[in-house]
């Protein structure tokens, strides 16, 4: 289990110590941050297999930090927990309780099944915007009818996209994109950096793609959408 590393977001010191101890007892490495703003910095420099989120830290954070929090929840396996200081006990969020009322079992499942099967990942450095853009993608750039798939973006940065797809795209695979909203409809070559299959986690299924090349007009369209 030593290869699994989890980022813990918790503002309360006692709660942080409790989460750190239970993860350590499970043989898992972890880093602690006190806010989602801090998380957005640490998660760029380091790779993680999942995130443990303290419910009270999430509830009490600012509107701006909530945007960061929910954006990251779409990209990592996440377990929401609460520290009951009065009883010195970790409890699950109501959402997690719907799947498992037993905290110990839920944590073990989270680590062994969700985090262990999830390739460690860091956040992108580029500004990212949650936006749904309509696009076509294919595997050969010809956009033949039988090989062309309709989809949309979950988020966009100047370096790439998070593509929603139910198909399994392998890391390193090249695909071609055509954005319906772009003035320049030239195919865009992109490389799969990571993928997230349907049914493995409760995250959105899809793939992270890196643009291999863009025309100047396509770069302008992206900058306009990102308000750069």
pLDDT at 1: 44
Q: Where are the alpha helices (DSSP H) in 86-195?
A: 94-97, 103-109
The H-or-E segment that residue 13 falls in is helix 13-25
pLDDT at 126: 65
The domain ranges of the chain are 5-115, 128-226
Look up tokens 């942080």; give the residue.
16
CA dist., res. 226 & res. 80, Å (int): 30
Look up tokens 């039988």; give the residue.
146
- Write down the pTM of the prediction: 0.63
- In the 8-state DSSP scheme, what is residue 111? I
CATH number for the 5-115 domain, one of 3.40.50.2300, 3.30.450.20, 1.10.10.10, 3.40.50.150?
3.40.50.2300
The residues of the chain scoring below 50 in pLDDT are 1
pLDDT at 202: 60
128-226 falls under which CATH superfamily? predicted glycosyltransferase like domains (2.40.10.220)
Q: Do the Cβ atoms of 186 and 213 come closer than 8 Å?
A: no
Q: Do the Cβ atoms of 218 and 152 come closer than 8 Å?
A: no
3-state secondary structure of 223: helix
Assigned token pair, 118: 């999830």
């Amino acid at each position: 289990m030593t290869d699994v590393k989890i980022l813990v977001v918790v503002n309360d010191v006692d709660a942080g110590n409790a989460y750190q101890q239970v993860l350590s007892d499970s043989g898992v490495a972890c880093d602690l941050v006190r806010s989602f703003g801090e998380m957005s910095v640490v998660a760029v420099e380091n790779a993680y297999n999942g995130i443990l989120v303290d419910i009270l830290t999430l509830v009490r954070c600012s509107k701006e930090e909530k945007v960061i929090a929910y954006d990251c929840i779409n990209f990592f396996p996440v377990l929401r927990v609460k520290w009951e200081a009065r009883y010195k006990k970790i409890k699950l969020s109501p959402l997690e309780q719907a799947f498992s009322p037993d905290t110990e079992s839920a944590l073990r499942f989270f680590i062994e099944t969700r985090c262990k099967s999830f390739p460690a990942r860091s956040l992108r450095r580029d500004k990212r915007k949650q936006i749904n853009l309509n696009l076509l993608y294919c595997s050969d750039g010809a956009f033949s009818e039988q090989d062309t798939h309709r989809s949309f973006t979950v988020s966009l940065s100047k370096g790439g996209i998070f593509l929603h797809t139910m198909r399994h795209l392998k890391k390193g695979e090249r695909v071609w994109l055509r954005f319906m909203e772009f003035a320049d409809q030239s195919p865009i070559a992109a490389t799969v950096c990571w993928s997230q299959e349907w049914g493995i986690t409760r995250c959105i299924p899809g793939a992270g793609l890196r643009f291999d090349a863009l025309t100047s007009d396509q770069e302008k369209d992206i900058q306009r959408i990102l308000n750069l």
